[in-house]
Amino acid sequence: MKYKSQKVAYWFFALSMLLLILQITYGFVMGFARIGMDGLHEFIPFNTARAVHTNLLVVWLLSGFMGAAYYIIPEEAQRELVNVKLAYVQLISLALVGVTAIVGYHFNWWEGRKFLEIPRQLDYLVVINVLLFLGLILTTLIKGKRKTTTALVLSMGLLFAALLYLPGMLPFDSQVTDSFFRWWVVHLWVEGVWELIMGGILSFLLIKLTGVDREVIEKWLYVIVGLTFLSGVLGTGHHYYYIGVNKIWLVVGGIFSALEPLAFLAMALFAVNMYRKGEKKHPNTLALFWTLGSAIVSFIGAGLLGFAHTLPQTNLYTHGTLVTAMHGHYAFWGAYAMIVLAIISYSLPNLTGRKLYESARGRAAFWLSNIGMLGMTVAFGVAGVVQVYLERKLKMEFMEVQNEISIHFVVLLLCATLFATGIIMYIVDFIKHGRPSDEALEVIEH
């Protein structure tokens, strides 16, 4: 069943693709700076490039999540979006706030807190924007003909993500207290409520692509939600080891961090089992590749690589090193980037009417981006282990160590080029689909 108001999703996806290209560009600026090619330092110093790179990651993923919600919720609720014009207002205001923040970073207009650098004035605009988005999504769901578990889990994830943004806006004089609540936003987003968003999108895609009964698939969602909250909330403790809080967090963080891979393992098993049970051979194999890939890679990146360095005994050495970058890149790629690319791959043919399922370019985009990201992860991992040994065991100076490991960034840049080639091919495919059309989105009454 298709609805004309789903067209708004296309423009959120287009914004997310534009922001993704920008994010990759700033990643290259940092990579070249790490091997001594820092010609842009006067205009884009490393700290600015890093802030833009990490913030663009958050904004392009949120744009993708919002697009996914605008596509999924009307279909799940079986009604048009309550107000399409307001959805476009929300899209334009989100883009304007994002551009203002990024330009501001280049002029040192920021708060200086990792991932939450956005200035306080813009924080309030973000809150208004997200409230408008939630109002549209939740009203559509409430007024809809049905309320599915998939739609409820997706909406719950988006609602909690909005609520958990607020602790990051609280003003504190103490660095310890500020760090304590900052992780409520950063950790409880990426290792908490964003997992619910991922679970909701994953469930929707598996229902559509495998043909397995909705009840069977949605039962798994309860398991994922339970495991996410069991491990994710108290797993925040692994960020509290060295910020000046009570020692009990070493125990709590260690135990619950060990449980965190379970939620991602459940998602991987869930996706693979549903695929094997599925009797329907959906023609959109690219969407299926991205969907299954997301579930499997997220378990490796977020689950296993996260567990590898969150135990207190290990984190004592790896904290603040490139080992964190290894985990961060593969976790974000598998858990969130790939699921956004999956919902885009599924929805584009339906929105535009151009069914480019078997595109060789699309398959090449999948494999090149995945091989490139795996290579980047290995390069970060090897550089991180060497850094840990030289810095933490041999007690060498930080900058001296950076010179020693610079060769690994040459490998990283080569793999990043492979990754970027895959993403460019994906975006070319996106453009080739063309714009959404009313003919492709005729409402089918049942």
**Using an 8 Å Cβ cutoff, are 415 and 380 in contact?**
no
Give, in order, the Cα–Cα distances in Å from 78 to each of 2, 65, 120, 138, 211: 9, 19, 38, 13, 19
Asked whether the whole model's pTM tops 0.85, one would answer yes
Interior angle at CA 357, CA 354 and CA 362, nearest 5: 110
Task: Print pLDDT tens along the chain (446 aa).
Answer: 578 899 999 999 999 999 999 999 999 999 999 999 999 999 999 999 999 999 999 999 999 999 999 999 999 999 999 999 999 999 999 999 999 999 999 999 999 888 899 999 999 999 999 999 999 999 999 999 999 999 999 999 999 999 999 999 999 999 999 999 999 999 999 999 999 999 999 999 999 999 899 999 999 889 888 998 889 899 999 999 999 999 999 999 999 999 999 999 999 999 999 999 887 788 999 999 999 999 999 999 999 999 999 999 999 999 999 999 999 999 999 999 999 999 999 999 999 999 888 789 999 999 999 999 999 999 999 999 999 999 999 999 999 999 999 999 999 999 999 999 999 999 999 999 999 988 777 644 33
Give, in order, the Cα–Cα distances in Å from 442 to each of 5, 350, 436: 10, 10, 12
On the CB side of 138, how many CA atoms lie within 13 Å of its CA? 13
For the record, the structure tokens of 213 come out as: 């009964």
The type of residue at 416 is A
**DSSP state string for 74-138:** HHHHTS--S-HHHHHHHHHHHHHHHHHHHHHHTTT-S---TT--S-HHHHHHHHHHHHHHHHHHH
- How far is Cα of residue 430 from the mean position of the Cα atoms in its chain? 19
For the record, the structure tokens of 311 come out as: 């135990």
